[in-house]
Amino acid sequence: MGGWAIAVHGGAGVDPNLPLERQEQAKQLLTRCLNLGISALRSDLPAIDVVELVVKELETDPFFNSGRGSALNENGRVEMEASIMDGPKRRCGAVSGLSTVKNPISLARLVMDKSPHSYLAFSGAESFARQQGVELVDNDYFITEENVGMLKLAKEANTILFDYRIPLGMETCAAGVDSPIQMNGLPISVYAPE
């Protein structure tokens, strides 16, 4: 058996022209979350507690597409989803369609630990959240100005943007036409990292 190990991610698919400042911001957030996980592991917290702790931290920072800073659906609302799994005995919990739960990953953990099920969604998940007394916030809490702008662009382009964001300052999709890389039939420059 080797020692402990940890990995975190903040999304895949990055615009090659992502401003250096944003790259630096992303690396600092990832480093901060990694260090949080490392100190928990050094205190012998079990793996399942560490993954919840780290993802909760990532949900709270608006930089990536989860929790605060989540992508917006067609109606301009946030609908979040999460899942968690504990290797020994393969216990798991998942939630979808959350719009008021501050940390979806913690509700997924409660589904695993406190319910007879593995997956609760939408109104069922929200009422389970109230029953469990997890922190609830208004949907506005999750919405950032940046994402409101991106939703506008996505509607203008009449497309659904995958887990990615459009780089700030690239208001028109045409801006990226000279990039040879395509994704979903659109030039990569339409996308930006989460």
Look at the block and give the residue holding tokens 């939703």: 151
Distance CA 171, CA 194 (A): 17
| Smallest distance, other proteins to C-beta of residue 159, A | 7
Q: Which is nearer to other proteins, 132 or 149 (CB)?
A: 149
Question: 27-36: which pairs have CB atoms within 8 A and are 24 or more residues apart?
Answer: 29/58, 29/61, 29/63, 29/64, 32/57, 33/8, 33/57, 33/58, 34/6, 34/8
Region binding other proteins by CB under 8 A among candidate stretches 85-93, 132-140, 169-177: 85-93
**Out of 110, 167, 187, 194, the residue judged to bind other proteins by CB under 8 A:** 194
| Smallest distance, other proteins to C-beta of residue 174, A | 18
**Out of 147, 176, 187, 190, the residue judged to bind other proteins by CB under 8 A:** 147
67 binds other proteins (CB under 8 A): yes
Distance CA 111, CA 113 (A): 6
| Smallest distance, other proteins to C-beta of residue 136, A | 16
Distance CA 31, CA 132 (A): 32
Number of chain residues interacting with other proteins (CB under 8 A): 94
Q: Which residues from 34-63 bind other proteins, rule CB under 8 A?
A: 34, 37-38, 41, 44-48, 50-52, 54-55, 58-59
Region binding other proteins by CB under 8 A among candidate stretches 70-78, 126-134, 167-175: 70-78
122 binds other proteins (CB under 8 A): yes
105 binds other proteins (CB under 8 A): yes
Contacts of 169 (CB under 8 A, 6+ apart): none
Look at the block and give the residue holding tokens 């990569």: 188
